Amino acid sequence: MALMPKRVKHRKSQRGRIKGSATRGNTVVFGDYGIQSLEPGWIKATTIEAGRIAAQQYVRGEGKLYIRIFPDKSVTSTPLETRMGKGKGEPEFWAAVVKPGTILYELSGVTEQQAKVCFARLASKLPVKVRFVERRTA
């Protein structure tokens, strides 16, 4: 089963507009390396899960993968050939809203070269442009 919240405050959310850049969740915190979004967008729950599987198949128990995004926005649509009115459609899928600068995934316990190869595989599955980032040492 794909990722989705157990319960939500409001049953159906509006579409909204993604503006600005991420002020929270924009630094590598849990792992040593991460991938950061460069553009805004929605990432489906199934895409997040596909990325998790691709990364864990590459890492094979050596390192630890952290997923920093969660799909908490329901995206709805009314069925085709339905007349106007009758309300909004049922939730079709769940998505995570991503702003530029958001850290999507993190890895720890692997070398930098392994992390780059793993994230290159993962980036091919994502609908937004991403870049490789390292943890800052203060």
Task: Place 57 in a pLDDT band, splitting at 50, 70 and 90.
Answer: very high
Is it the case that residue 86 has pLDDT exceeding 90? Answer: no
pTM confidence score: 0.89
Q: What is the pLDDT of residue 138?
A: 66
Tell me the pLDDT of the chain averaged across its residues: 91
Distance of CA 123 to the CA centre of its chain: 11
Domains of the chain, start order: 40-75+90-134 (3.90.1170.10)
Is it the case that residue 1 has pLDDT exceeding 60? Answer: no
Q: Which token pair is 62?
A: 């050596």
Looking at the chain, the whole-number percentage of residues with pLDDT higher than 90 is: 69
What mean pLDDT comes out for the span 114-118? 95
**b/e map of 57-73 (b: 16 or more CB within 10 Å)?**
ebbeeebebbbbbebbb
